[in-house]
Amino acid sequence: MHKNSKHNPASEGGLLGEIKALQRELHDLAGMAHGPGLGIFRLLPGIGLDKWEDISRRHNLNHWLALPLDGEIRPRLESLQQTLDRLFATVAPGPLGGLADYCGLEDILDMEMERSRRCQTPVSLAILGLDDPGAVTRTHGRDAPATALDGLSALVRTAKRRYDLAAMFDRDRLAVVLSGTGPVQAQKKLTTVLEEFQNTPFCCGQGAPTFNTTCSAGVTCFRGRTEISVRAFMDKALAAMAEAVALGGARVNLSPLADLDMVPRETLVRSSEKKFLFTGKP
């Protein structure tokens, strides 16, 4: 902002109160994806881009866009365009069930992992898929797996919070990014989804018989304590899902924390020693 502004800098508490009040007022209109669009602008004297980015990370305001008014404008506009592209990826319809695509998943997961590193808050990733799509095809026809997966995507979209992300991982699996959620909470939420899915009948067309099937989910969690790539984080969730299917399916399987595998062994030993001293249990 211009340094010669005669206005007093806005307090963080006042700014957050104003944003939350606006979000509450507009909550019912947020789902009108096919209606007219509107951008709302607010001048904030005394708050620079660094301060806004810090507030945005701590209070999950990534969907609010900021543009500094001082200095060279072009780099800021390019940054704004990149942010718009990332946001569009989270709402653009994917090939199945209106989910985000794989690129949107990678971008948002990268942002959430960065937030986790900065704020030491958890982010969980779940990958879901049918337990035996081949058997579903043989028994109910070639369109049956896609029909069931579309039904699963509908259940996931209903169950997730507005700031979680549901996306197509590949043609046979879905992914869900659960912001600020630890593994136990994630397991509880996904278990509910899997139970609803198992009890939901599907039909591939008028006059076709209905069928039921099962799915599994692999979950991993990152708490920002070590460095791990987005790809490696995804691989942990994939491995957990594969193990769930191997164990018989129709379950949520948790992988070890993504941070735990990379913590030095000496640190884990000290932690175990402290636990024994204070509890008497190994």
Q: Which residue ranges does the chain devote to CATH 3.30.70.270?
A: 97-262
Average pLDDT in the chain: 79
Helical packing angle, 49-58 and 102-119, nearest 10°: 100
pLDDT at 262 over 90: no
Return the CATH number of the domain spanning residue range 97-262. 3.30.70.270
Closest to 86 in 3D by CA, of 67, 111, 119: 111
In this predicted structure, what is the pLDDT of residue 97?
A: 57
Where does residue 217 rank: exposed (0-12), middle (13-18), buried (19+ CB within 10 A)? buried
Strands (DSSP E) along 91-198, which ranges?
A: 123-130, 165-170, 173-179
Separation of alpha carbons 47 and 109, rounded Å: 27
pLDDT of residue 8: 37
pLDDT in tens, 98-135: 688 887 888 889 889 988 988 889 999 999 999 999 99
- pTM beyond 0.95: the answer is no
**CA–CA–CA angle 48, 65, 175 (5° rounding):** 125
Does residue 263 or residue 113 have the better pLDDT?
Answer: 113
